[in-house]
Structure 1
Amino acid sequence: MDRPDPQEALAQVLRDHGRLVGLQPDRVRGLLSDLLGVGGRDFRAEVDALVVACEEGIPALLLDTVDSADTAVTEGVGLLEARGLTTERAAGATLAWASALEAPVSESLSSSMRSDPSAPSSGGDLLSAAATSLPAPTHRTPTVEPVPTRPSHPSKGPEPDREPRTNPAQGPARFPFARGRTAGVAAGLVAVIVAGTVGATILWPDGPSKADTRPVAAQGGTLRLTTSGGLTWDPMETTDPGLRLLMNRALYRGLVAFAAAADDEPGTLVADLATTTGQTVDKGRTWVFALRPDAHWEDGSPVTCADAKAGVARAFGAARFFGYSYEAAILIDVPHTSDGLPVYKGAGTAGRAAFDSAVRCSGSDLTIRLLGPEYEFPRYLALPELAPYRAAAPLGPGKRSMSSGPYVVEASAADAATLVRNAHWSRQADSLRPAVPDRLSITTTDVDDVASGLATDAVEFRRSVTLSPLPASADKAFAQSPDRTQVAPAGVTEMLVPNLRTTTMSSTAYRRAFALSTDRLSYVAAMGGPAVSMVQRSTAGTYHSSPSVAFDVAQARSLLAGDKPRLKVAFHASPESERAMTALAAGWRQAGFKVDLVAFRGSRAAYVEAIATAAGTTTYDAVRTDYVDSLNRSATAQLVDPRFAVGPSAAEAKTVTTAIDRAIGTPPGPDRDAAWRSVDDVIAVLSLLVPLANRASLVGSGSAVRGATTSIEFSGVLDPLRISLAPAES
């Protein structure tokens, strides 16, 4: 029997599995591959385009149409062009979906799109769609001047050209196989990357979560918030994203903040204690923040520039120098010691002069000078770790600042705390925070008890929300009340990191074969989640699904050309991860690799130490790690930047650095986002990283809670910003 072409195969998939299969990109790819068989290799670009259309939600757009799908088709083509597809490829994929779904498209639109593919594409022009199917891809490299990248050493970057003052409104360093003397810092950061300390639950939900659409209730009431960890009011003493977000919303206002956003959407950066999101006169190297005159601490005293400077200084003195505090501090123009850390430690005289020169006050204006240009630096100032600081009496571990937000800490113990209204806060001075409840009651509670209480609508949980993610198994318990749970990206990507120092991974063909024979669907199934819900998220911090690499053992075997290269892969063992890695090894062996899985069955800390020790050697061809998203896309890009890590061949390295430099030098806005999508595409095509899956957070709220949303910037936890409560039961 003749094999179908991709459009015929797509129609067959929908006939056999229903039209809603179009909401499951990875399942669509697998079903198309099954129907096309070996001949599918001739249609790799077409299949990739159909799957990318699925990822962009084009089938859902078409399913929503009634009388005419012309508007949905036009919008779909634009979405695919923004992903880097040519107009012809974008139109072909969109019309193929429209045909398979029997969406009503006018003959005039269909004819014009099929006959006039000449319109320019709107983004991602480093790679065409077809490039995603080439074993050893070539890239169209735009002729752009490189821009100064953030230095990884104490010396200052070149002084950038000055430009008119602008006000952009948007927005870890090293990885296991780092290059040069900064590898010492890398070893310390591997602990954060591998440990996955954000507390997210591994979860691939059975269906899409539903946002809370219930009306906002009246002012007042007591909101209960539950957490599974210990309480502290020092953001430097916790990595708990839910508790940190609560601090930001209730107590410690930043110079800027992330506004609440729809679920699964990034929050917009807005002014908070500052009057703008920051002004720069030199392409992002120097930033000026003017403080509002009407913000006050809980004792009634004004928030000053000195307080803002004290908050920045705390980033240099963190007891555990990692995470966002680390990322922010190393960007600031303070010299580094031989270990790669700033000479200033947040207190004392050592390095203080350098800090005072880089971070200075003039009246109510705070000026921060960076080592090099960085347009996304203001995003760090939205975090409680870098919020303006004025010491208050301690409550629990660590230091505590006075509150500049709508609440103050009335009482606090190791497992419970109460926040009440701040008499010196006003909505006129803080338009971001509605602060509807009168009191916040925070308790440390077992997550299984919380899940049971919320699912059964127990009285004591009806006015509750979760700060800590719920167990994945709890999702099904909310089947009758889906508006009380939300699932959001947790900001943790499970991935394999090739070591380009080894003979195996220094070969582009071998590396590509490694990616092609990595069976992600089997990995996800072995980890305990339905494979159809696996989502590939950005490896460069952009919330963008880079071109998926299909599981294609035949193509991988062809690339190896009879060779049987060594593939030694290290991972931290658990019952689930051992099943998952065994599933991956099967695909690698089918391709022809000589696989050696090295399972570390001790503590995670021992695994961290082992791969940190092995960094810079050829001990392992790849390691399995968890990567925690950065707020700064240029920092994340250093994972694959050959100027900071061992890179591919010279020609490929030029493609990588050109893409990164172009993205770093583009001011905030759609063009910058498109440039970072191109970086994602380069990473995927060159197989510099092999993403396996993304973690998600399941959070819940009681039946009397209104306005619950989630925050991507804080690992998908529930955002209390807009929460209100239904009137108390009589």
Structure 2
Amino acid sequence: MRRSVSVGLVVVLLLAGCDGGGDGGTTSAPFDPATCQGGTLTVLNQGGITHLDPARLYTSGGGNIPSLLFRTLTTRNRLPGEAGTTPAPDLATDLGTPSDGARTWTYHLRDDIVFEDGTPITAADVKYGIERSFAPELPGGAPYLRDWLTGAAGYQGPYKQPEGLAAIETPDEKTIVFKLRKPEGDFPYLATATQFAPVPKAKDRGADYENHPVSSGPYRVESYAKKKSLVLVRNPHWSWQSDPLRYACPDRIEVTAGLDPAVINQRLVTGAGPDANAVTTDAVVGPEQLAQLGAGSALDGRVSRGEFPATYYLAFNPTKKPFDDPRVREALAYAINRTSVVNAQGGTAVSGASTTFLPPQPALGYQPYDYFPAGATGAPEQARKILAEAGHSGLTIELAHENDDANGIGPKVAAAVQEAFKQAGVTVDLVAIDSATYRDVTGKPATQPGLSLQYWGADWPSGGPFLIPVFDGRQIITAGGNFNLAQYDDPAVNAEIDAINALTDPSAAAARWGALDARIGKLALVIPLTHEKDVYLYGRNVRNAVPDGWRGQYDLARISVK
């Protein structure tokens, strides 16, 4: 999934490290969620607020802004660092009970959960919210349930098929049961998605529901102007006792969208007026602000540093020459200069060199490997040697990339790759493709180039959503929207994916995902380049802006401006 904020877009531990400052450093007054209420939080975003319907949001962990409105069966644990990579119960009493080899998942709802009008939330409301996400009138949500639920592939939503999904059972008001067509040990992670937010059927207005969706979270909508602004105020029927993971400190949250990221960062630095209480959920720190960071810098105390699990990489299309020859792929892997790529993406503060497809995060199952050691700046002589032995000296290839640098796979990174390959005697012709259509072109086998710059981010912190779309042969889509760009289909790898999916122990699954990544890495189907690092500024009055390990950014549900 491309990392984007998708409203524009997806038991309390009082720790001294969740702090009185912003980024987790201890101060004289530890942050206390019991006394953090008050004030207006300003959110300055570049992404437009295109949808506010939980069925149409592609967010895991409830997203950031969506999580203020919508509670789901489970949610992210909302803790700093690695502890924040696990799911936690939200509307449900626990993470679900698997049976039938993880083909059936049963959830029981809490007794103290209500909508913004005080109406109790029932299992039927959760089921209806999920069924809406299948409606063609409401596109855009995560696609997993259509594949996972038994008999759901052709379901068209409750407007066309009001009988609903037989694979979701609600034997009583507090119980909901999911019947899956295959084992899925990651179901508690998927249950964090906004498609699992309850929707009262009587309040549903189809495509117009997003104009004023019914809240189940700590805030409700006061006003919403699509692609422009969103104002949230307190939901009077929400209680901290029923929802201890969300602190809901500000009384009011005002979101402005469509801003230039440079303007956002400058406003956060200056902190004039309401901007002293401001944050952003999608404008990472720019070059000008990065230059101001360092030991002793006043700005350093207003920076949140995290890592969203994401990888930038070169994707080969082995159906095209010369990339059908694994020796060519290996030679180019030796030739890559990762230091120049890191610098092209903004430096070590925002990018880290990677030799593995899985980013260096334990929750994903990361296992270090480097089968084609390029060192920090490339091994061009080794690349030349391999190419000569393979009969490919003087090679000329094309490299596709986005036509701007906004997503980290644009002209700057392409030029760095071009120069590295030049040192190995390979001529690279750059092919710029409009960012708006890049995925359409590269994700369709008929138009896919032989080599392209790509980005992959996890829908949740597990190796499955990282490796399955890119290397599972059953995920190849010839009509378009394909992510398995190597068009790699190995029955043994597919079988191992199925075996790992059946595991309900995240630690056991992580170890297997890491081993599978290392196994596939030997084939040089991709060249990992870098992993993402996230640096976000926040206003001088903002407290507890602590990044979690799930998304690498601070959580609006835990921030204070008082």
On the 8 A contact 1:471/1:698 being kept in 2, the answer is yes
- Counterpart of 2:286 in structure 1 is 472
Q: How large is the RMSD of aligned CA atoms in angstroms?
A: 3.6
**In the alignment, structure 1 residue 544 sits paired with structure 2 residue 366:** yes
Instruction: Please report how far the alpha carbon of residue 375 of structure 1 lies from its aligned counterpart in structure 2 after TM superposition.
Output: 0.6
AA partner of residue 379 (structure 1): Y
On the 8 A contact 2:75/2:90 being kept in 1, the answer is yes
- Counterpart of 1:497 in structure 2 is 315
For residue 686 of structure 1, the aligned residue among 496, 520, 523 is 523
Distance 1:620 1:701, change over 3 A: closer
Q: Encode CA deviations 1:25-70: one digit per residue, 9 max, x unaligned.
A: xxxxxxxxxxxxxxxxxxxxxxxxxxxxxxxxxxxxxxxxxxxxxx
Secondary structure in 1 matching 2:418 = helix
**In the alignment, structure 1 residue 458 sits paired with structure 2 residue 288:** no
Instruction: Please report how far the alpha carbon of residue 286 of structure 1 lies from its aligned counterpart in structure 2 after TM superposition.
Output: 1.3
Larger mean Cα displacement after TM superposition, 235-244 or 563-572: 235-244
**In the alignment, structure 1 residue 626 sits paired with structure 2 residue 439:** no
On the 8 A contact 2:222/2:233 being kept in 1, the answer is yes
**In the alignment, structure 1 residue 713 sits paired with structure 2 residue 550:** yes
For residue 371 of structure 1, the aligned residue among 167, 173, 181 is 181
Distance 1:369 1:532, change over 3 A: closer
Distance 1:485 1:417, change over 3 A: same
On the 8 A contact 2:23/2:547 being kept in 1, the answer is no
Distance 1:436 1:579, change over 3 A: closer
Secondary structure in 2 matching 1:718 = coil
Q: Encode CA deviations 1:70-92: one digit per residue, 9 max, x unaligned.
A: xxxxxxxxxxxxxxxxxxxxxxx
On the 8 A contact 1:709/1:719 being kept in 2, the answer is yes
Secondary structure in 1 matching 2:550 = coil
Measure, in 2, the Cα distance between the counterparts of 1:318 and 1:245: 25
Instruction: Please report how far the alpha carbon of residue 531 of structure 1 lies from its aligned counterpart in structure 2 after TM superposition.
Output: 9.2
Measure, in 1, the Cα distance between the counterparts of 2:292 and 2:233: 33
Instruction: Please report how far the alpha carbon of residue 252 of structure 1 lies from its aligned counterpart in structure 2 after TM superposition.
Output: 1.0
- Counterpart of 1:581 in structure 2 is 414
Secondary structure in 1 matching 2:410 = helix
Distance 1:607 1:672, change over 3 A: closer
Measure, in 2, the Cα distance between the counterparts of 1:242 and 1:293: 22
Instruction: Please report how far the alpha carbon of residue 271 of structure 1 lies from its aligned counterpart in structure 2 after TM superposition.
Output: 0.8
AA partner of residue 191 (structure 2): L
On the 8 A contact 1:286/1:369 being kept in 2, the answer is yes
Distance 1:679 1:608, change over 3 A: same
For residue 443 of structure 1, the aligned residue among 245, 248, 256 is 256
AA partner of residue 634 (structure 1): G
How many residue pairs get aligned? The number is 509
- Counterpart of 2:18 in structure 1 is none
AA partner of residue 402 (structure 1): V
On the 8 A contact 2:285/2:537 being kept in 1, the answer is no
For residue 246 of structure 1, the aligned residue among 46, 65, 71 is 65
Measure, in 2, the Cα distance between the counterparts of 1:410 and 1:670: 42
Measure, in 2, the Cα distance between the counterparts of 1:298 and 1:598: 53
Instruction: Please report how far the alpha carbon of residue 697 of structure 1 lies from its aligned counterpart in structure 2 after TM superposition.
Output: 3.2
AA partner of residue 220 (structure 1): Q
Secondary structure in 2 matching 1:705 = coil
Distance 1:330 1:590, change over 3 A: same
Report 1:12-411 matches (<5 A): 197-198=4-5, 210-214=23-27, 215-216=30-31, 218-228=35-45, 229-231=47-49, 232-237=51-56, 244-248=63-67, 250-263=68-81, 266-317=84-135, 319=137, 321-322=139-140, 325-335=142-152, 342-350=153-161, 355-363=164-172, 364-390=174-200, 392=203, 398=210, 400-411=212-223
Instruction: Please report how far the alpha carbon of residue 590 of structure 1 lies from its aligned counterpart in structure 2 after TM superposition.
Output: 4.1
On the 8 A contact 1:316/1:325 being kept in 2, the answer is no
- Counterpart of 2:466 in structure 1 is 636
Measure, in 2, the Cα distance between the counterparts of 1:582 and 1:462: 39
Output the TM-score relative to the length of structure 2: 0.79
**In the alignment, structure 1 residue 570 sits paired with structure 2 residue 400:** yes
Instruction: Please report how far the alpha carbon of residue 705 of structure 1 lies from its aligned counterpart in structure 2 after TM superposition.
Output: 2.0
On the 8 A contact 1:524/1:531 being kept in 2, the answer is no
- Counterpart of 2:244 in structure 1 is 431
- Counterpart of 1:482 in structure 2 is 300
Distance 1:482 1:507, change over 3 A: same
Distance 1:427 1:396, change over 3 A: same
Structure 2 unaligned residues grouped into runs of 5+: 7-21, 477-483
On the 8 A contact 1:641/1:647 being kept in 2, the answer is no
On the 8 A contact 2:317/2:487 being kept in 1, the answer is no
Measure, in 1, the Cα distance between the counterparts of 2:62 and 2:508: 34
Measure, in 2, the Cα distance between the counterparts of 1:505 and 1:349: 46
Larger mean Cα displacement after TM superposition, 637-646 or 496-505: 637-646
Distance 1:356 1:580, change over 3 A: closer
On the 8 A contact 1:328/1:377 being kept in 2, the answer is no
Distance 1:649 1:348, change over 3 A: closer
Identity of paired residues, percent?
Answer: 25
Secondary structure in 2 matching 1:724 = coil
Measure, in 1, the Cα distance between the counterparts of 2:420 and 2:240: 58
Distance 1:643 1:243, change over 3 A: closer
Measure, in 2, the Cα distance between the counterparts of 1:514 and 1:326: 34
Measure, in 1, the Cα distance between the counterparts of 2:271 and 2:349: 30
Distance 1:535 1:637, change over 3 A: same
Distance 1:311 1:647, change over 3 A: closer
For residue 723 of structure 1, the aligned residue among 540, 545, 559 is 559
Q: Encode CA deviations 1:364-400: one digit per residue, 9 max, x unaligned.
A: 2111112211111221221223311126588988354
Distance 1:454 1:334, change over 3 A: same
Distance 1:521 1:658, change over 3 A: farther
Larger mean Cα displacement after TM superposition, 294-303 or 387-396: 387-396
On the 8 A contact 2:414/2:453 being kept in 1, the answer is no
Distance 1:319 1:634, change over 3 A: farther
Measure, in 1, the Cα distance between the counterparts of 2:487 and 2:436: 33
Instruction: Please report how far the alpha carbon of residue 443 of structure 1 lies from its aligned counterpart in structure 2 after TM superposition.
Output: 3.3
Instruction: Please report how far the alpha carbon of residue 319 of structure 1 lies from its aligned counterpart in structure 2 after TM superposition.
Output: 4.9
Measure, in 1, the Cα distance between the counterparts of 2:169 and 2:60: 30
Secondary structure in 1 matching 2:241 = helix
Output the TM-score relative to the length of structure 1: 0.62
Measure, in 2, the Cα distance between the counterparts of 1:666 and 1:310: 28
Larger relative helix fraction: 1
Secondary structure in 2 matching 1:698 = strand
Q: Answer with 1 or 2: which has the greater Rg.
A: 1
Secondary structure in 2 matching 1:721 = helix
Secondary structure in 1 matching 2:558 = coil
